[in-house]
Chains A and B, each alone.
Chain A
Amino acid sequence: MSPQLAQYLLSGVTIGAVYALVALGFSIIFNASHVINFAQGEFVMIGGMTTVSLIGSGLPLPLAMIAAVLLAALVGLALEKLAVEPARGAPVATLIIITIGASIFLRGLAGLVWDKKLHTLAPFSGSTPIEIAGAALLPQSLWVLGVTFAIVLALSWFFGRTLLGKAMLATSNQRLAAQLVGINVRRVLLISFGLSAALGAVAGILITPIALTSWDVGIMLGLKGFAAAVLGGLGSGPGAVLGGLALGIAEALSAGYLSSAYKDVIAFVLMLAVLFFMPNGILGRHSAERV
């Protein structure tokens, strides 16, 4: 493998891990409520921007990160309670417009509360690159990959082993049946928004030392995470991770070998190709619609 290719793959996997976290957030909410939450990218922005501004006011990094994740989770809960819950049972178009409205609202609010400049964070553990196969790996990339891996493990434990996680799976499978066996479906919905907001915030914090953050960073990250979720199969957890990584690598390779100006287009071309030729995604459930 040429060092150049290794370099592209390393940076692709790093950004892909972030897409995977955003895509997981989409999938969790979609499973619980069949809502596509277009405000998912704003959680990423809230995570990064809150951490930056708290560190600016003198808080140590770990505390600032915890506060940022908690704040994003609160915003997620509020979004479900105030905007999604009142419109339950509405048609898809209505729910899409509500979450897009929420994302524009949150972006406008962020522009007011903070500012419209670019911000960065110091890398968590220095910036001396580690050499692998002739390519340079930033220590921050290890943080991104390590934390994403830990989160994926924790989520698979949560959904496979805990009562609450199983209740969420049951709700996504058959809402009415879940309700009949005594699962509090409304609480499941609320928790899914809080959980995926927290995931988004973590992604936003991890990527800030590498890719900067600002009030409007949520649009592109949200849309790319969304493309990753579709790529892997909407609603599939392993699919979201696979889709995120595949998208990150495809983007890095096309930026390296084709054109850096068009790297943002790759995500959407891939998404359209998947939708046209295998609408269930790489790992999505095959479903038949009932009449």
Chain B
Amino acid sequence: MRWLASPRTGGLFALVAVIAALPLALSNNYFYEVAILVGLNAIVCVGLNLLIGYAGQISLGHAGFFGLGAYGSAILSARFGWPPLAALAVATAGVALLAYVIGRPILRLRGHYLAMATLGMGVIVSIVTATEDRWTGGPDGMPVPPLRLPGATLSGEGPWYAVVGFLVVAAVWLSLNLIESPTGRALRALSGSEIAAEVSGIDSARQKVLVFVISAVFASVAGSLTAHYSGFITPSKATFLHSIEFVTMVVFGGMASTYGAVVGAAVLTTLPQLLTVFKDYEMIALGSIMMGTMIFMPKGLVPSIGGLVGAAAAARARKAVR
């Protein structure tokens, strides 16, 4: 039964079980819609967590990659009539290339300077999407055709849920495997001390750029899918505030915890839906959650609960010995 306790097998098994069982509780289309949005955000957060949680590099501009993926798909399929899957592939490749090119100069920076540079990059993307109205429809946004797969068009809440659920599991599986690979160990080493990591022979620039590109690709794919799923895209998806929401999900769920990223996305995507009655208080609530988590629970939700459970188990074990 040991395999059940390991996050790579037991945790993944639990995640699959939750995703498979959830439709029993989703009694109408609206619940499905929220679940799909949770899944799409979770994909972004799992990728962003690799960067922030494991490599220790902050990004305040991931909504930029999300937005580029979304608009890339939208423009290629709506304005040029490309098949959506080809548009998605090209948009993803474009974002990966961009992240690779800007990754090296940006990731040479540390701490505050890195935060500023990623922020600047994100703001530039968001202003461009709001301004180039010939292509993007400007601040009003643009419609996006549905996702046509070979043989069928993806429509309706059920099929979308299945596809997004599958992709969330795939993203988590990829992330867990990456963390346990030599790359993952290198990332954790350079997060602890970059100089120590370099002394022990890790090419830290290469590893940081690699994880930056991976996290940008996750964000871009989720952006493309969100655009196709909602059928409409506006520049608000690429703004600084949206970048902050992604970072908050990662940090709230728990940095350096892949499941934490999923839980963070689930809680912070669902919460505003529950709070729509208090729409005026939404920003106050978001701000309070961000400050409160960082002050009282700096490790985030999942690691904190994990720590409590671990401490309780240890106490029980001590009692049993006596």
Contact = CB atoms under 8 A, between A and B. Distances in A.
A219 B111 CA distance: 21
**A-B CB proximity, top 6 nearest:** A105-B287, A108-B283, A101-B290, A104-B287, A108-B284, A268-B120
B131 A261 contact: yes
B127 A265 contact: yes
Contacts, number: 122
A105 B283 contact: yes
A111 interface: yes
A93 B251 contact: yes
Most interface-central of A86, A87, A269, A272 (chain B CB within 10 A): A272
Contact of B291 (A83, A92, A234): A83
A86 B240 CA distance: 26
Contact of A102 (B111, B117, B287): B287
Given A111-B280, A268-B124, A100 B298 contact: no
B92 to A, nearest CB: 24
Contacts of A291: 195
A112 B286 CA distance: 15
Contacts of A219: 240
Contacts of A223: 119, 123, 240
Given A87-B294, A97-B251, A92 B286 contact: no
Interface of B: 52, 56, 58, 60, 105-106, 109, 111-113, 115-117, 119-121, 123-124, 127-128, 131, 195, 240-241, 244, 247-248, 251, 255, 280-291, 294-295, 298
Given A87-B298, A92-B112, A275-B113, A101 B280 contact: no
Contacts of B244: 100, 104
Interface in A94-113: 94, 96-98, 100-109, 111-112
A271 interface: yes
Q: Is the interface of B mostly helix, strand, loop or mixed?
A: helix
B161 to A, nearest CB: 31
Given A104-B286, A275-B116, 19 more contacts: A30-B112, A36-B115, A90-B294, A90-B298, A93-B255, A94-B294, A101-B288, A101-B289, A102-B291, A104-B287, A105-B284, A105-B286, A105-B287, A105-B288, A108-B285, A230-B113, A234-B113, A262-B127, A276-B106
A98 B111 CA distance: 15
A112 B284 contact: yes
Contacts of B288: 101, 105
B102 to A, nearest CB: 9
23 contacts: A83-B291, A83-B295, A90-B298, A92-B112, A93-B52, A93-B58, A93-B115, A93-B255, A98-B291, A101-B288, A101-B290, A101-B291, A104-B283, A107-B287, A108-B281, A108-B282, A108-B284, A111-B283, A112-B280, A262-B131, A265-B124, A268-B127, A269-B124
A103 B120 contact: no
A227 interface: yes
Given A97-B247, A101-B291, A108-B281, A264 B116 contact: no
Prevailing SS type, chain A contact patch: helix
Interface of A: 30, 36, 83, 86-87, 90, 92-94, 96-98, 100-109, 111-112, 219, 223, 226-227, 230, 234, 261-262, 264-265, 268-269, 271-272, 275-276, 279, 291
Most buried by B among A36, A93, A276: A93
Contacts of B241: 104
Given A87-B294, A265-B124, A112 B131 contact: no
A151 B151 CA distance: 69
A108 B287 contact: yes
A259 B15 CA distance: 50
Nearest to B58: A93
Given A108-B281, A291-B195, A101 B124 contact: no
B58 to A, nearest CB: 5
Nearest to A36: B112
B294 A101 contact: yes
B116 A230 contact: yes
Nearest to A275: B117
B114 to A, nearest CB: 9
A36 to B, nearest CB: 5
Contacts of B282: 108
Residue of A36, A98, A219 most packed against chain B (CB within 10 A): A98
A204 to B, nearest CB: 19
